[in-house]
Structure 1
Amino acid sequence: MSLRICILETDVLRPELLDPYVGYGAMFQRLFAKQPIPAQFVIYNVMEGDYPARDERFDAYLVTGSKADSFGPEAWIQVLKDYLRERYAAGDKLLGVCFGHQLLALLFGGRAERASGGWGVGIHNYQLHHQAPWMTPALDGLTLLISHQDQVTALPENATLLASSPFCAHAAYCIGDQVLCFQGHPEFVPEYSRALLDIRQKCIGEPTYRTAVAGLEHEHHGATVAEWMMRFVGHK
């Protein structure tokens, strides 16, 4: 039986990136097509006020990345936080990536703010701290494409740390069997990361830019994280 996943899209891509990437929802659809667990996806752009009907139910709700700050005051962010509280209270499973990772940490008592180390870009390696049954196939370490200037600086009290690095101490976490979040972007492909790096070259600085571009040649574990997510959703 196929899982039903609601993708809560929290951004609109820059005009120059719309073709061929369309949006983060479409990027996640392409990512999840690479993993073996059958799943169907419906995309709602909550930044534009689009949400599922009240009587529509999904196996999980995934909050995407965004240019917005998770701790920002925008009205649509407050509406999204209220919606996620309702879903959590109803027992639904929640997935978060980058902005979603930070927003869910904030929602449950953690902290997110500007990263003291500046921009995190390119490809990044993390140490794994926990091995859950749904983390199959198993990895010795985690490598993901990243693009963020904010990050989680304190986890919710009931969260379990899954991955960290010296640059990003709270790179992945779960809360029981209901919440699973990653700072890195499993849905990114090197070409998209390069496009973002080119756009942000001046603000991130030339040395960081060159190092990040060179790192895009390395493999990353996006498809594995996608499978972990689907196994987490299906795990009872």
Structure 2
Amino acid sequence: MILLFSAAVAPGLALFSYFYLRNQMATEPRKTLFQAFLFGALITFPIMFIQYVLKEEATITNRYLTEVLVSSGLEEFFKWLVILLVIFRHIEFDDPYDGILYGASVSLGFATVENVLYLLSFGIDTAILRAILPVSSHALFGVVMGYYFGKSKFAKNDKEREYLFLSIFAPLILHVTYNSILRFEGYWVYLIAPFMFYLWWLALRKVKLAHQHLVQHLYEQKYQ
């Protein structure tokens, strides 16, 4: 049980540590980040409950809508809602890169609990594949979401709402694409690899841009 739990939690902690250590300009309070992680973990249960009810009640008869659009939409919406309601106006959200960290924290909280439950059901044999695909993809969706939250928070050109819209729309499109690829039985392996490379490239580009925004933000604070 300890081995299984460790295998389920380790990928999320490793990914979060990576994005946390990338922030060399400022140190975000660990307590606030841990709280964001916990909120992400807690929303796993209402999401899974709603997904279960929709499936059992056959509320939506189209399988694609149920497994791809509704599943992706619920997960990204709840993560987005947590950041918007709990974190976006928080005093500790004080520079553009913080969006990356809070987006990753909430997403990895959800992904970690989901991973624990999945490995408890299907065994540790799936741990490596789960770490490479679902856990890392959730983290990267969170990075993209957080990047646009950071842009919205510190927008100075009346684009706050535009960036806020992108903070839900961009990760949703990525998640829908990811889930759609997994439905190609027999072919998904050939499609998921280039998609994951693109997803990593996109997320790391957002990290780089967030660093540039952070440097500019600190410069403006110093000389204003």
**Larger RCO (alpha carbons 8 Å, 6+ apart):** 2
The answer, yes or no, to whether TM exceeds 0.5 is no
Question: What TM-score do the two structures reach when normalised by structure 2?
Answer: 0.34
The structure where helix makes up a greater share of residues is 2
Question: What TM-score do the two structures reach when normalised by structure 1?
Answer: 0.33
